């Protein structure tokens, strides 16, 4: 697109990914649970899942 500005690199955050995030998601799926964060599409969900919460 012409005239489209990009966000500066310091605004962009990397999504936490790792064993703990995957394990948390797997547990929730296996138990058939959904979190408020998942339903609300919280932008900070990766941080919580990385902590195992």
Domain region containing 30:
19-50
Say which DSSP state 20 is in.
Answer: H
Residue 12 is assigned to a structural domain of this protein: no
Task: Give the model's pLDDT for residue 45.
Answer: 86
Structural domains counted in the chain: 1
Residues 16 and 50 sit within 8 Å (Cβ to Cβ): yes
- Evaluate whether residue 13 is within a structural domain: no
Q: For 34-45, how does the pLDDT look when each residue is reduced to its tens digit (9 = 90+)?
A: 899 889 988 888
State the DSSP code for 10: T
Q: Please indicate, yes or no, if residue 9 is contained in any of the structural domains.
A: no
pLDDT tens-place string over residues 9-30: 777 766 667 788 888 889 999 9
Identify whether 41 is part of a domain. Answer: yes
Q: Determine contact, residues 17/45, Cβ cutoff 8 Å.
A: no
Looking at residue 3, its pLDDT comes to 72
Place of tokens 């703990």: 20
The answer to whether residues 35 and 24 touch, using CB atoms and an 8 Å cutoff, is: no
Q: How distant, in Å, are the alpha carbons of 1, 13, 14 from that of 28?
A: 40, 25, 23
């Amino acid at each position: 697109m012409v005239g489209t500005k990009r966000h500066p690199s310091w605004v962009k955050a990397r999504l936490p990914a790792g064993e703990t995030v995957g394990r948390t998601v797997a547990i929730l799926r296996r138990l058939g649970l959904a979190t408020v964060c998942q339903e609300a599409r919280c932008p900070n969900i990766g941080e919580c899942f990385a902590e195992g919460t």
